[in-house]
Amino acid sequence: MISKEFLSKIPIFKFLPEEDHVSLVSLWRVRALKAGETLFRKGEPGSSMFVIEEGEMEIVLPVDPPVNEVQLSILREGEFFGELSLFADTPRTATARAVTDTKLVEMQRGDFITFVMERPSVGISMLSEMAKRLQMTNELISNLASKNPNEEIEEKLTFGDRIADKIAEFGGSWKFIIAFGVFMAIWIGLNVLQFLFQPFDPYPFVFLNLMLSTVAALQAPVIMMSQNRAQKKDRLKADLDYQVNVKSELMLQQMHQKMDRLMDEEFAHVRRELEAMRTTKPKRTSAKK
């Protein structure tokens, strides 16, 4: 049986009063899955909601069953799925499979409806959370996912970040190497050629070594900061690529389904035409006789 403490951590139930948590606890039953075991498949009838108590579940969308699948999300402890089945007698919209050995708790539609009739606030809380999920799904499918990671990072850069990037860019260029070489040659030349004036940093150039050490000590963390932002940019690019791929898979699936429907309609139309031709041909021959 699920505990009140665990139930209070679930987003759609955490705002409910404690007496509602006590009543909800008795509505759940425990289910266990082995790694790789499928809980339900897309299109199967659904009548219950699940909450993950231990382990991980993946929600996938078959694209060309049973060959290809699009992974929509990975759900972990405290996350829920299948909530649409509590409100409507509709088939499952995706396939749920255990990634690891998983412990779930399940609530049936009949028990939930009876509970909501007594406490409408639970239904309102769940509808609010479901609306948020639906909005995220619509953004994934409808919005343009191919964003520029450079623009995404650029919007969040501070003035210090921009200065650090400029320093790192200059420090890794030929301009820096040439400027550094010219500076070193002038410095050493002025302190070696002692004809005109007293050298201000004679050999072994202690002050020059101090300056170089200071510059290196300051430049190293600045370059590392810039490299960290480059890694963030790479991760963002990977996330955006994943969104584009998911959207492309979904669009291809929808296109494939539409093509199948059009072909089925076309074949049905051809069959009707052939049947009509078969039925009208004998009538014409008999009329000639």
CATH 3.40.140.10 fits 4-142, yes or no: no
Q: Is the pLDDT of residue 99 over 50?
A: yes
Question: Distance between CA atoms of 157 and 6, rounded to whole angstroms?
Answer: 39
pLDDT in tens, 146-172: 556 566 666 667 777 778 778 778 877
Q: What is the mean pLDDT of residues 22-33?
A: 85
- Indicate the average pLDDT of the chain: 77
Question: Distance between CA atoms of 166 and 175, rounded to whole angstroms?
Answer: 13
Question: Distance between CA atoms of 4 and 14, rounded to whole angstroms?
Answer: 10
> What is the structure's pLDDT at 32?
92
Q: Is the pLDDT of residue 57 over 90?
A: yes
H or E element that contains 122 = helix 120-142
Domain boundaries, the chain: 4-142, 149-270
Could you tell me how far CA 68 lies from the centroid of its own chain? 19
pTM for the structure as a whole: 0.47
Work out the angle at residue 131's Cα, subtended by the Cα atoms of residues 42 and 101, and round it to the nearest 5 degrees: 45
Q: Is the pLDDT of residue 36 over 80?
A: yes
